[in-house]
Structure 1
């Protein structure tokens, strides 16, 4: 009987707790003020999300139009540069807008944004001080792409490194030399760049000629040879120009030849000019030697005939 007497109050307390929990749940479910707050908060969050997406799309279109306008104003256009810059700017825009959206949404849930921003600032300073070289490489790489300093496929020289750009990254740039070496350079170390692929090149050839050859004949021969070289080479923009004597000494004089050519073809054009002039000189020497041999043969025949005539008269 005593146990039953103890169980009755416990049962009554449990029933009261269940009823209290039911009443609390019902009051919570029927709290119109709370549901209105949740509804308006949800509407604000959805509005913030939609506005963020709209702002991102608008900025994307502005970026695309700006890059298209810049591309139309340039003659030497490399589409990959503008694609890279566009994607980079779009990624930055998306990151910044989404970060701001997350902060505003957290504010709707009564999170204190001030300490969060302060913590993010402290973390950013710590990362900045701990990885200064990395930050420098990233910033320099961004401006290399943004300012269109060079692109993949360009022949450049930075410091002691010269070659063709194979890859431009945010942190590093990879260059391949003419002999096959691969240079991987941190963007932060690229201070000065010489780009050989932006504008036309000027091939310069200095030809040493022996003083035994007359100037007028040599100039005429070189000009004729250069006409043939220009006709066979499409990389020359204009016909080579003979500037005249560059230097002079007791044994030879040097004639300078210049020719405007396409980018990265300077060495090829100079080699072809030298080969063309050399072949013309050899052909001229062969012709002169043949004429000399012919003249000597004729003189020998004439001398032989003269000797035979003298012998006949003596007999």
Structure 2
């Protein structure tokens, strides 16, 4: 019985040793298989070449996009340069995603993956996601149409619904707007239905100046016109010289003179404030001179 147990242990040890030797032989054969390593090295070289070519292709396309947009920017058909930034960024992101996806498929083919079931599964998965995330799909489609139709661009001042501010980012799914007081609004593109763009055309500054009825109309208009000369010279945001249209309203105590001026988009409030300040200062100076003249006349009368 004891000899039988020893023989069993010996057989087990021999089997383990045999399996270890077989595994060693298999590993050694795998490590010394020149044909296998040749295939692996060739596949690795092809993958590296594919990666390098993809990066070069992306860079070339980037340069083509930049050159094309630069040519359009310098052409006679001038557009807002911020729109070129928006369109260029979107095109570059799209090209990067497409090229990397194609590179991924080519690399998989190097490992002998069957791409047909993978593409079919991706189509079914995309269809399922489309049904389950219709709002996301709507946001994406609306984002493309915003860019395609040039509704607004990065840097434009817009208002949609109750939200007004400067467009900071236009993404595929969301748009980020920063208000003039610093609030950041992140809006799904699908929720942007009606847009007022304040940056597409020049603005019109409109100022109504109240004047007391005691002041002569023609003298006041001449005084305001003289004050507006310096306003036009010192306000680069103003496109045309301010124009005094005339009396806009009339009451028993005062009348209002309307002043208009063309200015750059989004600078209407600044130009209006500058006009009001210059006109106010001119009227104050005139009132001081009139007061001094009145006191001088009173002093002359008293002396007489």
Report matched runs for 1:1-315 at 5 Å: 62-73=64-75, 74-78=78-82, 81-82=84-85, 85-97=87-99, 99=101, 113-146=115-148, 147=150, 149-152=152-155, 154-302=156-304
Aligned residues: 285
Report the CA distance between 1:244 and its aligned residue. Answer: 1.2
Contact 2:163–2:185 under 8 Å retained in 1 = yes
What is the TM-score normalised by the length of structure 1?
0.69
Deviation at 1:257, TM superposition (A): 0.5
Shift of residue 45, structure 1, vs aligned partner: 9.9
In 1, distance between residues paired with 2:229 and 2:270?
16
Unaligned runs of 5+ in 1: 1-40, 303-315
Offset of 1:220 from its aligned partner?
1.0
Superposed displacement of residue 206, structure 1: 1.0
Q: What is the TM-score of this pair, normalised by structure 2?
A: 0.71
Q: Secondary structure at the match of 1:227?
A: helix
Counterparts in 2 of 1:75 and 1:282: CA distance versus 1, 3 Å = same
Structure 1 residues 48-67: Cα deviation after superposition (integer angstroms, max 9, x where no partner): 99997887677556534433
SS of residue in 1 equivalent to 2:65: helix
Deviation at 1:119, TM superposition (A): 1.8
For 1:174 and 1:106, the matched residues in 2 are separated by: 37
Contact preservation (8 Å) 2:238, 2:262: yes
Cα distance in 2, alignment partners of residues 86 and 76 from structure 1: 13
Task: Write the distance in 1 (CA, Å) between the matches of 2:73 and 2:227.
Answer: 41
SS of the residue 2:298 aligns to: helix
Q: Does the residue aligned with 1:157 lie in a helix, a strand or coil?
A: strand
Compute the displacement of 1:219 (Å): 0.9
Q: Is the 8 A contact 2:246 2:258 kept in 1?
A: yes
In 2, Cα distance between equivalents of 1:243 and 1:125: 62
Judge conservation of contact 2:82–2:153 (CA < 8 Å) in 1: no
Once superposed, what is the RMSD of the aligned Cα atoms? 4.4
Q: Could you say which structure has the larger radius of gyration? A: 1
Question: 1:33 aligns to what?
Answer: none
Q: 1:148 to 1:282 in 2, by over 3 A?
A: same
Partner of 1:18: none
Structure 2 unaligned runs (5+)? Answer: 1-42
- Relative to structure 1, is the Cα distance of residues 137 and 291 closer, same or farther in structure 2, using a 3 angstrom cutoff? same
CA-CA distance at 1:131 after TM superposition:
1.6
